[in-house]
Amino acid sequence: MHSTHSEEQVLTVGIEEKLSLGANITYGFQHLLALTGIFLFPVLIGQALGLDAGVIGYMIQACFLTTGIVTVLQSGKMLRLPVVQGPTAAFFVAVMSAGASVGLGTAFGSMAVAGLIFMLLSIPIRRFGLIGYVNKFISPPIVYGTLLVIIGAQLADIGLKNWFGSADTGINFIASLVTVICVLALLVFGGNTILRRGALLWGIIAGTIFYSIFGTTDFSSVTTAGWFSFPEIFPFGFGVSVPVVILMLLAFLQASAEAVGMYTLLTKWGKQKLDNDRVNRGLFGEFFGCTLGAVFGGLGTTSYPENIGIVRVSGIGSRFVTMTAGILAIILGLIPKVGMFIASLPGPVLSAASTILFGIIAISGIQMVGKVVWDELNLAVAGSSFIISLGTMYLPAELTQDLPLAIQSVVTQPMLVGVVLLIVLNTVVNIWIRPLLERRNATGLSEATSEAV
């Protein structure tokens, strides 16, 4: 348990302090190593939708661009905090499910529309930005902590079973084991070093090397890819679907809750003020960057807890370091060879790494809900939301296939059902009912005391 003094001394380099260019690049690159969603989510979407390597490579480029743009905005004038943005599991699930039903053009088009809506709701002008004022409904640990547990459990369905691949299952499985063992060893024995912070990336590298020696890899597409290209506007086409817009709105809502939680931690460590205006500026910058990223074909982002952990462990809270990380991400997003190289990595190796990542997502949620006082009211909120959400994965097909697309797109996704249930139940139970019960109990106690006297 940390002392109060140690909690006050989290940052050895303050948020507004500047370092040398070399230090900015070194520490900024360290932040990029933690952005595992960039390396994994586009490839997993590609595997699920049967996309070719060129499309997956482009999507990876777009994710780097989105990450870089939003990170520069957040580290710069919008939020002025050392925030690093990265693709979040909420948008990964949303794009994968929408892409399977209506295509990537409609998925990203609908994400852009949802982003515009959230930008309007968070305009950083006094009294106009609404999201900052509804923070208490979406940011409590019981809401976003339980939601991360739900997301981790939902994603378990696409992890372990893909370790074996479709051919050479023995080599595939052994390469997956090599990846997992390497990741776990670095997480356990890596200490507070770049080895532990980049454990998933190093595990992917080790698994790929093993697979290249004993299996068959094909990186020929990397040699034919160019060294530089600008992003395309709606590269997968453009479409808008109301059900998918609703789906993306819920994903933005989840990302908002997670982001505000990270803002709160960073301002506490940096001894700065976090008011509604600053929250709205941060969220507006995030939504703007995500909307622009959707236009390019990249996944929406949120503030990465892993990067907040790097700030906590290293004590380096300079926003100029994270701004450098954003610039590096933009540069990588303009190099097609980078995207094609990642897209060409062995599928079983990436699936093995994703299994660990999904477990970390779930346990991070458990860590967050550890702050919750688990009385009967909170158990009712989290317990019912958790079990009902996961139960949607097992709804009978004959029931869901006859539902309108707008309803079907929501009720079959645990993450979406979960975020709605958690926000509604937490608002009703903890914000409305709990104060009434406390007042009633206090009145009853007062009356009993008076009678006893």
| Measured distance between the N- and C-terminal CA atoms of the chain, rounded to whole angstroms | 44
pLDDT-derived band at 228 (thresholds 50, 70, 90) equals confident
Q: Is residue 265 part of a domain?
A: yes
Total of domains in the chain: 1
**pLDDT digit string, tens, across residues 388-418:** 998 888 888 778 777 776 677 677 778 778 8
Q: Is residue 404 part of a domain?
A: no
**pLDDT digit string, tens, across residues 82-108:** 888 888 877 888 888 888 888 899 999
**pLDDT digit string, tens, across residues 331-341:** 988 988 888 88
Domain that holds residue 80: 8-361
Most confident of 11-15, 187-191, 429-433: 429-433
Q: Tokens 């709804």 — which residue? A: 395
Q: Is residue 212 part of a domain?
A: yes
Q: Is residue 412 part of a domain?
A: no
pLDDT at 143 over 80: yes
Q: Is residue 369 part of a domain?
A: no
**pLDDT digit string, tens, across residues 176-213:** 888 889 988 988 887 777 777 678 778 888 888 888 88
Model's pTM, two decimal places? 0.76
More confident residue, 240 or 310: 240
What confidence score (pLDDT) does residue 132 get? 57
pLDDT at 3 over 50: no
Question: Which of 384, 395, 393 minimizes the C-alpha distance to 421?
Answer: 384
Average pLDDT, integer, range 297-325? 82
DSSP element (H, E) containing 86: strand 85-87
Q: Judge contact between 86 and 35, C-beta under 8 A.
A: yes
What confidence score (pLDDT) does residue 446 get? 66
pLDDT at 241 over 80: yes
Q: Judge contact between 428 and 452, C-beta under 8 A.
A: no
Least confident among 4-18, 125-139, 144-158, 267-281 = 125-139
Q: Is residue 326 part of a domain?
A: yes
What are 383's two structure tokens?
């317990």
Q: Is residue 45 part of a domain?
A: yes
What confidence score (pLDDT) does residue 114 get? 93
pLDDT-derived band at 129 (thresholds 50, 70, 90) equals low
Q: Is residue 275 part of a domain?
A: yes
**pLDDT digit string, tens, across residues 334-386:** 988 888 888 777 878 888 887 887 787 788 788 888 889 899 999 999 999 99
C-alpha to C-alpha distances, 265 to 218, 233, 237, 413, nearest whole angstrom: 44, 36, 39, 30
What are 171's two structure tokens?
């080599």
